C-alpha cells in the first residue's frame, strides 16, 4: 500500500512524518519474513490523531509496528501501511521509583538503564527483544513475571475516541499475553513503578535469566519467540517435542531443534511456508493431545 496522494504527502511532511516508500517488512521483523509497504515513522505523539484522520480520509488501512519481534507478516505487496514511533532522546526519565518510558524505547536497554539506577523487577524480560510499547501490548512476560504488574499509567492513542488518553494501571487488565487494550489502541508512553534493589542483586537475576535463555533458545537464529501460547497448565513446546516434531520443516521454515515452540527462518522462508508449518503442527497437537493451540505470534496476513 502506498501513501501517495500529493495533498496527503504534503500534510505528512508538515506533521513531521518520515515516509519510507516500499519498506521491506522482512528487514523490520526478527523472523525476517514479510513483503513491502510504505513505512510512516512518527516523530511527535501529538501528530497521531491528524495522521489517523488523514489515512482514514484517503482509505489507507494501517498497522502499528514496534520492534517486529512477535510478528509473522505476509508476503508480497501488503495492503496496509505501517506506522512506527521514532525513539526520542531521552526515552527513559526516572523520578524516584517511577520510570517514565516512551513506547519506542528498546525494552532491554530500558531494563538495563533502570537496573543501573537500582530499580529492578524486570529481570525476567532481559533478552526479550522489541520495544516497550510492544511489550505492553503483548503483556510480555517470562520466568514468572510480566510487565503489566509494574504499570502505573499508560498514555495511548484510542482510535475509538480519536484522542490521546491516559489510563491508570488499575483500569487495564493484563493477562497471559493478553491485555484489555482495543486492537487499534496505540501505546505511546508508560509510567512503570519499579521496586528499589541494589544493582548488584539485579545483575545477578539478569545473569540467571540470560543463562536460561542461552541454554534453551535458538538465539542466533531468526525467530519470533514462542509461536503458540501455553494452554492452561500445559507446555506447548513439550507437546510438540513429545511428538518428535523438532526439525520438521516446510521450505526454510523449521521447528527449532533447541526449543520446540520456537519456529525459525533457516534461510529464505516465506510467510506461506511458516503458516503451513504452524497449521501442520497445530493439527498434529490437536489430533494427539486434543488441545487446540492458540498463536502467541501476531500474524499480519493479507
Catalog residues that contact ligand FAD under the rule CB under 6 A. 30, 63-71, 103, 128-131, 133-135, 137-138, 140-142, 186-187, 217, 219, 223-225, 298
Residue 144 C-alpha cell reads as: 514468572
- Would you give the distance in Å from CA 51 to the centre of its chain? 22
Q: Which residues are catalytic?
A: 177, 226, 296
Considering the complex, what minimum distance in angstroms separates the CB of residue 106 from ligand FAD? 9
Shortest CB 183 distance to ligand FAD, Å: 8
Among candidate residues 117, 72, 75, the one with its CA nearest the CA of residue 93: 117
Residue nearest to ligand FAD (CB): 134
Task: Write out the three cell numbers for 39.
Answer: 513505512
129 phi-psi bin (left φ>0, alpha ψ -120 to 50, beta other): beta
> Least Å distance between CB 103 and ligand FAD?
4
Cell of 29: 521483523
Nearer to ligand FAD, 35 or 129 (CB): 129
Task: Indicate the Cα dihedral angle 239, 240, 244, 249, nearest 10°.
Answer: 170
**Half-sphere exposure for 158 (CA within 13 Å, toward CB):** 12
Nearer to ligand FAD, 258 or 284 (CB): 258
The C-alpha cell that represents 47 in the structure block: 501528530
Three cell numbers, residue 259: 526449543
DSSP 62-106: EEE-SSSSSEEE-SSB-SSEEEEEPPPSS-EEEETTEEEEETTSB
C-alpha cell at 69: 519481534
Q: How many CB atoms lie within 10 A of CB 285?
A: 22
Nearer to ligand FAD (CB atom), residue 187 or residue 281: 187
Q: Which is nearer to ligand FAD, 160 or 200 (CB)?
A: 160
> Nearer to ligand FAD by C-beta: 9 or 165?
165
Q: What are phi and psi of 227, to 5 degrees?
A: -80, -40
Question: For residues 110 and 130, what is the distance between their CA atoms, to the nearest angstrom?
Answer: 11
Nearer to ligand FAD, 23 or 186 (CB): 186
* Closest distance to ligand FAD from the beta carbon of 146 (Å): 8
CA-derived radius of gyration, the chain: 20
Amino acid at each position: 500500500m502506498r501513501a501517495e496522494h500529493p495533498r496527503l504527502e504534503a500534510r505528512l511532511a508538515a506533521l513531521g512524518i518520515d515516509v519510507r516508500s516500499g519498506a521491506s517488512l522482512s528487514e523490520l521483523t526478527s523472523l525476517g519474513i514479510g513483503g513491502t509497504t510504505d513505512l510512516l515513522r512518527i516523530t511527535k505523539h501529538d501528530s497521531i490523531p491528524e495522521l489517523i484522520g488523514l489515512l482514514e480520509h484517503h482509505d489507507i488501512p494501517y498497522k502499528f509496528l514496534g520492534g517486529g519481534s512477535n510478528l509473522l507478516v505476509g508476503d508480497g505487496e501488503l495492503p496496509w501501511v505501517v506506522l512506527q514511533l521514532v525513539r526520542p532522546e531521552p526515552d527513559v526519565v526516572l523520578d524516584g521509583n517511577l520510570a517514565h518510558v516512551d513506547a519506542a524505547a528498546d525494552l532491554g536497554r530500558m531494563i538495563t538503564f533502570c537496573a543501573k539506577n537500582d530499580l529492578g523487577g524486570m529481570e525476567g524480560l532481559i533478552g526479550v527483544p522489541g520495544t516497550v510499547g510492544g511489550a505492553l501490548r503483548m503483556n510480555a512476560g517470562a520466568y514468572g513475571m510480566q510487565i503489566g504488574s509494574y504499570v502505573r499509567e499508560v498514555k495511548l492513542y484510542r482510535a475509538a475516541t480519536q484522542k490521546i488518553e491516559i489510563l491508570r494501571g488499575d483500569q487495564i487488565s493484563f493477562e497471559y499475553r493478553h491485555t484489555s487494550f482495543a486492537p487499534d489502541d496505540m501505546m505511546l508512553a508508560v509510567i512503570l513503578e519499579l521496586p528499589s534493589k541494589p544493582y548488584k542483586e539485579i545483575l545477578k537475576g539478569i545473569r540467571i535469566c540470560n543463562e536460561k535463555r542461552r541454554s534453551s533458545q535458538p538465539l542466533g537464529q531468526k525467530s519470533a519467540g514462542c509461536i503458540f501460547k501455553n494452554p492452561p497448565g500445559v507446555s506447548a513446546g513439550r507437546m510438540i517435542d513429545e511428538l518428535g516434531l523438532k526439525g520438521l520443516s516446510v521450505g526454510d521454515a523449521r521447528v527449532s531443534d533447541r526449543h520446540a515452540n520456537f519456529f525459525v527462518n533457516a534461510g529464505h522462508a516465506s510467510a506461506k511456508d511458516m503458516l503451513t508449518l504452524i497449521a501442520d503442527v497445530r493439527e498434529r497437537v490437536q489430533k494427539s493431545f486434543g488441545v487446540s493451540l492458540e498463536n502467541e505470534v501476531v500474524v499480519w496476513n493479507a
